[in-house]
Structure 1
Amino acid sequence: MLANYHKISTKFWLNKVVFLVWIIIIILQVEISSSSSAEDAKILLKFKKSLLNTNALNNWDTSIPPCTNRTRNWVGVLCKKGTLFGLQLENMNLKGNIDINSLLQLSSLRTISVMNNSFEGPLPEINKLTRLRSAYFSYNNFSGDINDDAFEGMVVLNKVHLANNSFTGNVPKSLANLPKLLEVTLENNEFYGVVPNFKSTGLKLFNVSNNYFDGQIPRFLSNMNSSAYLGNPGLCGHPLPQCKQSIHKNSLSMVLIIVITVALLLFMTVIFILLTKYRSPKYGAGKKITARDIETAPHEKAKLKQSNGHDTYPNNQARALERATSYKKSDNGKLCFLRNDRQKFEMQDLLKASAEVLGSGSFGSSYKAAIMGGPTFVVKRFRQMNNVGKEEFQELIRKLGRLRHPNLLPLVAFFHKRDEKLIISDFVENGSLASHLHGRHTPDQPGLRWSMRLKIIKGVARGLAYLYRELPELSLPHGHLKSSNVLLDEKFEPLLSDYAFVPLINKEHGEQVMAAYKSPEFTQTNAVTKKTDVWCLGILILEILTGKFPANYLKHGKGGNDELAIWVDSVVKEEWSSEMFDMEMRASRSCKGEMLKLLKIGMWCCEWNEDKRWSLRDAVEKIEELKEMDDDNLADFPSGRSYSARSFSSDSSYSRIASITTEQVV
């Protein structure tokens, strides 16, 4: 019995010791967790400093820890057992830099998502986060090539989402070599080259649609749905149509001989032409047109083309129209013509046409296509035009096709498929207004003089007024009015292009790139009106007069500050100088008064306060009154109204302009 007592006593004290140890461990864990949480808070606040537009993160405050047990106290922070597990910073309109070095200090970080924000520039150095399991960077403005080693060492990474950005180049080898990938989304970018053979055998989600990939789909990836590959003109193989059969071996040698011979002849011909051209006194080193004021941006990476001023993109130069739509040849789709005064042709004729890439702009790629034995057209392939169904799409396009005005670019035909939208219009040899304003000029190709610019702005105003009359049901009869969408014919008569597409363009994409959504009213209230097109007209007038490109047009998302209007306003109010006008206008002294009048019109049109902004009717009336020569005074403008591009103060910029004399401008 005594032995039993000792056993019970020993067991009692042993249980008590175990219980005390357990309590101590819990206390230590809580203290460690509390200490870790406090350290994480400091790291996150340091990380926040690298970001812009952080209103959504206002509750990040050291007064409360980011995580408590399984509860998250900070918005965008994911917690697991009281420890920070991930960051989910989605739909917050965040900008700035993603401070990877700060995130590196979060030892428990396993997932990060910054989807649906406004981050720009190259992909951050996420390969420093070697313990990361998932990375979501889709729906931003990231751009540029991704380095081959961008995912080196990330052996546990299983989810990579980079869709809907502007990435270029080949898929990095380090991504294809990751062993545990489950999800990869790369759609709606500008990747090119072949689709690599991914090392992971567990891929469940894979999408590379709407890029510029070519070649055969790897066998291992052929079990994916065909939608994962659509929009890549050069891809072939299951689940897409089979690749063309290779040439029979017996005839290979003969074909090689023929190809080499033809290539040598073409090479010699090109050399002869170039030598002849360079020796010509009409050709000079300064003939090349380059961008002057337009900066690189994900959706406006234009380099002004030497031959005709159209935008061109170096990486896509070799991708012709036939290649871009070759996977559609089996569809037997029909072109729908909108005009009876243009030569009709079949889709196959278009695919066989001699084609040249003009660029890849806000909505998709553009091609110059010369129909064999016929005229030359521009074919625009729209990648973001799925906002309405087929019937509504055709109804609006046919209505636009019936429009007739000397200052509108005519729509000739269209092609509609679920994943393919083509709109065909006349080719305008003289290029865009942007190329003439911002290209380098030579003595035999001078900049636009004042009379030409006045003619252009009058034509733009007339074309816009016509759209207002014919499309009263649209809140944005144009919606994308800017200098690159004003083409100039051989007589320098302006032709508006890309008009009235707002109802067709995917709403989210349109709000990122279209000119109307850079306006003050959309920035403030997420709303646009018919005066929004007037604001675009005002910015265009200021661009024509100053020769400066509106910098906010180069950015994705809301317009932010309309820097051009602010700059003009500041010059007028504080440091007036005639140097604000583009010196390439070559205007005489007698033109300066009319230039001032147009400047005032432009400022009234891009007035920040929409209620004070002129209507299109008022603007067109005043523009029509302008003359090439100044033969009257400035008193014909309405009195009693004040102007301020941002309503910064009660000072009247209008009054400041009205007091400027022609002598001061000269």
Structure 2
Amino acid sequence: MVQKRPYYCLVMLFVLGISFEPSLGDTDAQILMRFKGSLSNGKALNDWGSESSLCSWTGLLCRKNQTFYGLRLEHMEMGGKIDIETLVELPTLVSFSVINNTFEGPMPEFKKLVSLRALFLSNNKFSGDIPDDAFEGMRKLKRVFLAENGFTGPIPKSLANLPRLLDLDLRGNGFGGNIPDFQQQDFRVFNLSNNQLEGQIPESLSNKFPSSFAGNEGLCGKPLSSCKIGGNESRSLEPNLDKPQGKNHRILITVIIVVAVVAFSSIVALLFIQKHRRKRFKPRTLPTQGNSQQSVGFKESHSIDMTVDLKDGDGELNFVREDRGGFDLHELLSASAAVLGSGSFGSTYKAMILNGPTVVVKRFRHMNNVGKQEFSEHMQRLGTLTHPNLLPLAAFYYRKEDKFLVYDFAENGSLASHLHGRNGSVLTWSSRLKIIKGVARGLAYLYENFPGKIVPHGHLKSSNVVLDHSFEPKLNEYGLVEVMNKSHAQKFMAAYKAPETSKFGRPNVKSDVWCLGILILEVLTGKFPANYLRHGKGGNNSDLATWVDSVVREEWTGEVFDKDILGTRNGESEMLKLLRIGMFCCKWSVENRWDWNEAVAKIEEVKENDGEDDSSSCYYVSEEDFNSRTATEDEFSFSVTNG
């Protein structure tokens, strides 16, 4: 009996182990289902609770090893309660996003989620003051986006003390009082515009761009105008018991006189404007964020006067989307504006409308062959297009000589500025793959919605791919071939650079695919496609595709890739897959070139392939840098350090 006792003990331990298994707690799936129960209008989450893999559920973010790490419940018209107590039970949750929903009330106690690294609450209906300690203990938090809500009161000091904060967007709220002294030095995104902040901007933020503080009338100091009154530093207008009362009276009288003069001048200026009924759109150079499109200077003669001979214009902005509006032509013309660029089509401006949105205005000078009715109908058709990877058209203004299109503004500028600009930005393999997938999805949407069009985009190139705050790509200047003067389109539009236009004189149904292929090669190589600089139809033997093909044929494949992604560990095989896709998309022979269905399907199959664990001699991305750029795993490796 003694000899059998050890075996008996082992059996008992095994039985006890099984019996205690339920005490380990709920699974992630069970916890998420409880969280779903606190939400209202959760129709988009109907697949939650299915027997499929947890990582296949809508809105769940997972790493390559199928480990859950985040929730991305965006654009779902969802509301209800964000059950923080339930979310606390998810130990691997580091990213949470409910952008563009209908959540309301005070901000939940996210500080209980101490491991959170990214918080996205923009475009909801949250309101009220945020407690000063709302972000206390969240030492890993790197991204905070609270824009376009109804938050009020002072900016929490605990937010300003976050040691790793890189991105902060508080625009479009009602925050008031003084700006706290932020301890962070290297913000990538920083925006406090359109609030009710006042007082002097802290010295630690004096190197930010003025646009970061626009719409706060009470702010002063660098980078805005100096806090001075009558040549002296501004002081509190409260009585100073340490100084003679006479001096206080003199200061008060001076202030009253200055205010009266300013008010009188403003009234005279308004009367003058109304009398002459002049509406001039006068851009001035404004500095933009480092990752935005670069502003360029211009002379006063470059000002736009859209009211010259108004009988040729319709006199008003024509909005093409129900969710846009809130401003009129006069407000647009009165907006502070910056020139973003000037190209073969016309000029592009960034306009910051007072108490309104920031928009991009594009002036097209080569659409004068199209009639008003035809142009209006085509713009209305473009306005119905809605896709995450299309830059939405908001409005248009018709004149016989030129046309103005108003688009939403993308915070991070064009893809071309990141690939070829000198702003120090680095796009990793992960970010580039995400961008290409988004471009492909947007192009597929255009093909599906314009089945009868030969080139539904027509001008696909890196300068017409813009990036929003999370580096999600948005296609721009799409669907304009139909309203562009044919001679100008043949000379400048990207689809007319495809090889078949040299032979047939017109683009083919696969010409947009050729542009997609060139874009893929540009993103992978970092080289600008020189054939886009040549005016006229068709490509030639010196284009980017030919160069890539020659290098690959010589088996020097490694020399093809941009040096910034060349050392991506475990990603080279996937990079090669995408390279081959690009080459098939821009085959010289239209018959051998892939169609859009096959190209998009192949692109979707490309994986990052654990590139985020890069520890090569070129780049190393540690777990510490996880989620440093966006709320999605596809941009996991944006933050890099030399290894």
TM-score (norm 2): 0.49
Which one scores higher on RCO, CA 8 angstroms, separation ≥ 6? 2
Instruction: Say which one has the larger Rg.
Output: 1
TM-score (norm 1): 0.47
